[in-house]
Structure 1
Amino acid sequence: MSAQGRPGGIPPGLNRFQSWLGKRPLLQLGVLAGLIAGALFLGHNLITNMDRVGITPGFSFLWRPANFEIGETLIAYSAQSSFGRAILAGALNTALVSITGCILATLIGVALGLARISANPVVAGMARIYVETIRNTPLLLQLFFWSATVQTFPPIRRAFEPLPGLLFSNRGLFLPSLGFSAGSWTIATAAVTAILLAAWVFLRVSMKDRPRQRRRTGFLLLLAAGAGLAVVAALGGFSVGWPQHKGFNVTGGLAATPEFAALLFGLAVNSSAGIAEIVRSGIEAVPKGQIEAARSLGLRQGQIMRLVILPQALRIMIPLFTSSYLSLTKNSSLAVAIGYPDLVSIVNTTANQTGQALEAIMIMIGIYLTINLTVSLVMNRAHARQSLTVRG
């Protein structure tokens, strides 16, 4: 040990630098320098090739007119709109089918997961056949199947109506819609926002250490918000639009194109099989002794599932749900195979028309990262809260 208290008298700054690099610092510096040199070489070649074909790097193309139509959008769009607005429309389409697909896949998957552990051998067997069939066939093949199935639906005049206001036809899916007047929409939004904000503050401050009472009070406050909306409805604030046959078309309500319906069914059914296995394994991971103890206390089967099994199983299931939701969001890019105008389809069209393929791909990567990181953040927060609730 030297007078400075360090082996070999290494100066403090160099010693800290060596601790950052770890063992074999020269080899690591060489690898890093090689990676930087490779990136610079590829970047120089890319810029040179773009200059050679007359392409100027940059994102100015986003403000130029797109000059192509999009068959289904959530925002106002026309061929005279900009490329940026077209990409926004595609991103919203992707977000819509992803969020709706996650909700539908969760509902189907939870039901199938409970069926997998059913004491009825017929129910459990049918659920197992469903899960194994879906998990062992390619998603693209399933999307083609659902696309062909939707095309075989009856025409508008003979549309299949399993429930009042729900129509299936070869032109898509039709659902009831809600229409708000301008004044009632503002009042309803302000009222619900105020109620939810007050509920959040109340629950955070007054019931921090009482999770059961907090959930009960939150449920009552949500009922109060629903009652407020019912009052607005009674005063004529909004109306329900029901799909109705009119000639060779359907008027009123919400309409989903056949491509959207096929993509939604395909993604939801495919992901539901994985979610079913997650639910089954999560429930079976709960120790049998706790279930027997709950029965010895006189709890009914529904109470055991709600109060004992699910709170512990959710700690296992939520991280796996996150992976399923992320996979569903990324798999929505297969929409290009059945003609749904999602983000990938519109970005590909943009890249072909502008020649700005690199910039278009960077935008697409950024949007997918934003969506998936948001999903991960929400699910991680839900997992952290569930873990604290179970420990409490």
Structure 2
Amino acid sequence: MPATQMKIAMRTSSSMRISWTDPSIRSVVYQVSAVVLIASFVWFLVANTLDNLAAHNIASGFGYLRHPAGFAISESWLTYSPLDTYGYAILVGLTNTLRVAAIGIVAATVFGTLIGIARVSGNPLMSGIASSYVEVVRNIPLLIQLFFWYVLITQVMPGPRDARVILPDVFLSNRGLAVPTIAGASSMPILAGFCIALVLVVGLWRRRERHHVKTGVVRPYWRYVLVVAITIPSAAFLGSGHDIRLDAPVLRGLNFSGGTSVSPEFTTLMLGLVFYTTAYIAEIVRAGIRSIQLGQWEAARSIGLSNWKVLRLVILPQALRVIVPPLASQYLNLVKNSSLAVAIGFPDIVAVVDTVLNQTGQAIECILIVMAAYLTISLSISFFMNWYNGRLALTER
């Protein structure tokens, strides 16, 4: 064999030799060892849990979800009775959690944006009040704030007989907030008409913006909005039999009858979550606005834009790229903080599952259900916010 070929063969054999000094070999060994340790730990937990359940004669599985619940739930958007199953009771608790999360996210976003703008205002009084609010609320634990609002509503507010009239037919008492509702056979078609009109209004706005970007021509918008907002609900009303009326709350006995009542527990939870999360969102908005250079303000003012138009058309669209990522974290925190509802008696999914656990003893299954519910909600919010953040990202051309 020639000397050159012999050297090549020796180099090949040396390169194929397994050596601990090779970083790639070490990384493979470390990763395989980590996987083996994690798998062994999981196997130990599962085997130990099954052995303990068998020793205490506790049946595992989710078959108990088909059994009658036998307990009441104080409030729900879904029709529920104690004869329904445990699974349906947990679904009722989940809808309560989703309702709190949806309303809380919208309200905290609106108020947080307004207070964040107030913090960068040139008005010392407005800026000082907003700063004081943020510093006070952020430094008090949320649970303490929930207790404060609950005591304020249930102890300080008067009873139904002496309820305070906030607006005509709107009463505030220690039983909660009683408001009128729209009733009748035409109420649902009209509500559906308003929802369809809202979707069309958003679609018209998006089409107008795309046409503006493409051609530079601004199409009329508000006249079409008025036509859509009036025509569709009116058509739904005319086509549904004209059966619509206002169902106002009326004091009967020790409580109000008619209309819709918002319970003190729900009011407490919403006030606590919104006030607490608003303070954090305000700081995020303030930081996003401050991240935009002052030259942007000066350039926008130099072409005759008012301060409001500068903020709406120039500053906030750019600040959103800074605001959205931490804003997603606050949305997730609001959803997870809603689990503190169990401390004030609001029947969210944690409170309902806790009752199910006490009655059935299926601790592992109940905890897994709660974990899966919050994980699903959080991942859904994260997916949407990541998608929206991607839409805002600058793309090179």
In 2, the alpha carbon distance for the partners of 1:268 and 1:316 equals 22
Of 213-222 and 281-290, more deviation after overlay is shown by 213-222
Kept in 2, the 8 Å contact 1:207–1:214? The answer is no
Cα distance change of structure 1 residues 343 and 301 upon mapping to structure 2, 3 Å threshold:
same
Deviations 1:262-309 (A, max 9, x none): 111011001011011111111111110010011111111111111111
Residue 161 in 1 paired to residue 165 in 2?
yes
The equivalent position to 2:175 in structure 1, one of 171, 175, 178, is 171
In 2, the alpha carbon distance for the partners of 1:220 and 1:7 equals 81
The equivalent position to 1:367 in structure 2, one of 360, 373, 387, is 373
Structure 1 residue 6, shift from structure 2 partner? 7.7
Q: Percent identity?
A: 38
The equivalent position to 1:118 in structure 2, one of 121, 133, 137, is 121
Structure 1 residue 185, shift from structure 2 partner? 3.4
* Unaligned runs of at least 5 residues, structure 2: 1-6
Cα distance change of structure 1 residues 384 and 53 upon mapping to structure 2, 3 Å threshold:
same
- The one-letter code of the counterpart of 1:309 is I
Kept in 1, the 8 Å contact 2:200–2:228? The answer is no
In 1, the alpha carbon distance for the partners of 2:204 and 2:350 equals 41
Report the equivalent of 2:144: 141
Q: Matched residue pairs, number?
A: 383
In 2, the alpha carbon distance for the partners of 1:224 and 1:291 equals 36
Q: What's the secondary structure of 2:79's corresponding residue?
A: coil
Deviations 1:302-343 (A, max 9, x none): 111111111111221122221111101100000111111111
In 1, the alpha carbon distance for the partners of 2:63 and 2:216 equals 55
Report the equivalent of 1:285: 291
In 2, the alpha carbon distance for the partners of 1:185 and 1:278 equals 39
Give 1 or 2 for the bigger CA radius of gyration.
2
Structure 1 residue 231, shift from structure 2 partner? 4.4
Residue 318 in 1 paired to residue 324 in 2?
yes
Aligned alpha-carbon RMSD (Å): 3.5
- The one-letter code of the counterpart of 2:388 is A
In 2, the alpha carbon distance for the partners of 1:379 and 1:214 equals 31
Report the equivalent of 1:38: 41
Deviations 1:109-160 (A, max 9, x none): 1221122122221221111111111000111000000000111211112212
Deviations 1:15-46 (A, max 9, x none): xxx99x77432232122111111111111110
Residue 344 in 1 paired to residue 350 in 2?
yes
- The one-letter code of the counterpart of 2:140 is T
Residue 385 in 1 paired to residue 391 in 2?
yes
TM-score, length of structure 1 as denominator length: 0.86
In 2, the alpha carbon distance for the partners of 1:214 and 1:7 equals 72
Cα distance change of structure 1 residues 10 and 166 upon mapping to structure 2, 3 Å threshold:
farther
Structure 1 residue 177, shift from structure 2 partner? 2.1
Kept in 2, the 8 Å contact 1:2–1:8? The answer is no
Of 231-240 and 48-57, more deviation after overlay is shown by 231-240
Q: What's the secondary structure of 1:161's corresponding residue?
A: strand
The equivalent position to 2:76 in structure 1, one of 70, 73, 77, is 73
TM-score, length of structure 2 as denominator length: 0.85
Of 248-257 and 57-66, more deviation after overlay is shown by 248-257
Structure 1 residue 260, shift from structure 2 partner? 0.7
* Unaligned runs of at least 5 residues, structure 1: none
Counterpart mapping for 1:211-226 below 5 A:
223-226=226-229
Residue 266 in 1 paired to residue 248 in 2?
no
In 2, the alpha carbon distance for the partners of 1:295 and 1:198 equals 30
Residue 25 in 1 paired to residue 28 in 2?
yes
Structure 1 residue 221, shift from structure 2 partner? 6.0
Cα distance change of structure 1 residues 43 and 162 upon mapping to structure 2, 3 Å threshold:
same
